[in-house]
Amino acid sequence: MMSENNNLENFSKISDLRAPFDLNSLVRDNIKKLTPYSSARHEFTGKASVLLDANENPYGSTLAEPFNRYPDPLQWQLKMSIASIKGVPAEHIFIGNGSDEVIDLAYRIFCDPEKDNVIICPPTYGMYEVSGNINNVGIKKVNLLPEFQLDVEGILSAVDENTKLLFLCSPNNPTGNNLNRNDIEFLLNNFPGIVVIDEAYINYSNQKSFIQELTEYPNLIVMQTLSKAWGLAALRLGLCYTSLDIIALFNKVKPPYNINEASQGLALEALQHTDQVNTWIKELVNEKVSLTNQLLNFPFVEKVFQSDANFILVKVKDANNLYNYLAQNEVVVRNRSKDVLCDNCLRITIGTPEENTQLLILLQQYEQ
C-alpha cells in the first residue's frame, strides 16, 4: 500500500561500509563540461510584483486560468507535497515528463553513444530498450529466469568496462511479480554502475520501496509514477528519487520547463486525497484476487501468474485468437506473446467491477 513514512531524519545517516562510489567516472565528459541553460525563473526566484524578465504576455491568457507565466522550473511546491507523503527530502526528488523522460536523461547523462552499454532483463518495460536505441547505446539482455526472477550471475557476467546502467523493474512489467529483494541488494552492492529500480507499480505491492535506501546506495535511482495508483496518467508525471549529486545532473540536462503549470497544479490537488487513493488500491487488489480465481475456471486458461501489480499475466492456449476475439467485442488487453518467456500470454489490467464482469461474460461466450 501507499507509503506515508515521514521519517526524513534517516537521510542524514551516511553509510561508510562500502568502497567509495565514483560517480564522476560514470558521467559523460560532455555532460561534465556542459553549461546548462539558465531560464528567467532560474535566475530570479524571489517575490516580485512586476515580471518583465521572461518575454511573457502580460495580459494573461484566453483560458480561465492565468497560464501566461512560466512554471516553476524545479517544481518545488509539488516536490514538497510528495516529500511529506514519501518521507524523502524534496531535494532528493526529480520530476520528469513521465518516467520515460527520466530514462532518457539517464542515458544522456551516463552513456556515450556507440561506446557504452546498459543491461536490461527481459521480459521487462520496453522503453528501456527503445530509449537506448534512440540514444545509440548498446543493449545487453540478460533474460529473467523461468520463474521471472533475476539471473544475478548472468547480469554480473555481462558487465564490461563500458557498462553504465542496469534497469530493474519491480514489480515487473509485464510479469507482475516482485523481484527478489536480496538479489537487488546484492546487485546494488556489486554492480559497478548505476542501478535504476522502476517501482511504477509499488503501490499495489507489499514489497518495501527502495526510496528509504538512498543514503545506503549512492549508485541507486528509484523511479515511481503518478500514472498508476494516483490515476494521473494523462498528466505525464514520473518521479525519481536519488542522491543530491545525481539530482544535480538531471537538473543540469533537463529542459528548463519540463513540467507544465497545469500538470503541477492538478497533481498538487490530487496529492491531497491519499485516503481515496488507498481505497482504490484496496478495491483493486480485491478485484485482482476475484478475477484471478474466476479466470482459472476457464479451460483455455493454463496459468495466472502471481502479480504484485494492478494487472495479471495470463497464459492461455491461443493468445492471438483470444486477443482478437476480445478486441472485436471492444475489450482490449495486451498480447505479450512475442516477449521472451511469455508465449501465449495476455496481460490484463484490473478494471472496475463492471469492466471485469464484462470481460468474464465475454470469456464465458468464447469458443476456440
Angle between helices 244-253 and 99-110 (to 10 degrees): 100
Using omega within 30 degrees of 0 as the cis cutoff, is the peptide bond preceding 89 cis? no
Q: Is the pLDDT of residue 126 over 90?
A: yes
Range 245-254 average pLDDT: 98
Please report which residue ranges of 135-203 form alpha helices under DSSP H.
152-158, 181-190
Dist CA 144 CA 147 (whole Å): 8
- Per residue in 46-91, pLDDT (tens digit) is 788 888 888 888 888 888 788 999 999 999 999 999 999 999 999 9
Strand locations in 262-329, DSSP E?
301-304, 311-316
Long-range CB contacts for residues 207-211, cutoff 8 Å, separation at least 24: 207/170, 207/171, 207/178, 207/181, 207/308, 208/181, 209/3, 210/184, 211/3, 211/86, 211/87, 211/88, 211/241
Predicted local confidence at residue 15, as pLDDT = 43
Integer angstrom CA distances of residue 187 from 112, 147, 149, 152, 168? 23, 19, 13, 7, 10
Question: For the whole model, what pTM was predicted?
Answer: 0.92
3-state DSSP assignment of residue 223? strand
- Which residues neighbour 238 within 8 Å (Cβ) at sequence distance 6 or greater? 95, 96, 97, 98, 99, 100, 101, 102, 223, 224, 225, 226, 227
Element spanning 165, H or E: strand 163-169
Residue 246 CA to residue 223 CA, distance in Å, equals 13
**Residue 43 pLDDT exceeds 90:** no
Q: Can you say whether residue 148 is alpha, beta or left, with left for phi > 0 and alpha for psi between -120 and 50 degrees?
A: left
Share of the chain above pLDDT 70, in %: 95
DSSP reduced 3-state for 314: strand
Q: Which of 15-19, 37-41, 175-179, 340-344 has the lowest mean pLDDT?
A: 15-19
Strand partners, 196: 167, 221
Residue 299's H or E segment, with its range, is none
Asked whether the predicted pLDDT for residue 3 surpasses 60, the reply is: no
Q: Are 163 and 117 in contact (CB under 8 A)?
A: yes
Q: Residue 201 pLDDT > 70, yes or no?
A: yes
Q: Give a three-class secondary structure readout of 132-154.
A: HHHCCCEEEECCCCCCCCCCHHH
Q: In whole angstroms, what is the distance from residue 18 CA to residue 5 CA?
A: 26
Q: How far is residue 94 from each of residues 157, 209, 217, measured CA to CA in Å?
A: 32, 17, 17
Average pLDDT over all residues of the chain: 93
- Distance, CA of 205 to CA of 124 (rounded, Å): 17
Round the CA-based radius of gyration of the chain to a whole number and report it. 22
pLDDT at 16 > cutoff 70: no
- Per-residue pLDDT band for 301 (boundaries 50, 70, 90) equals very high
Domains along the sequence of the chain with CATH: 8-272 (3.40.640.10), 275-364 (3.90.1150.10)
Residue with cell 543493449: 139
- CA end-to-end span of the chain, whole Å? 39
Alpha-carbon span 217 to 207, nearest angstrom: 18
Three cell numbers written together for 184: 537487488
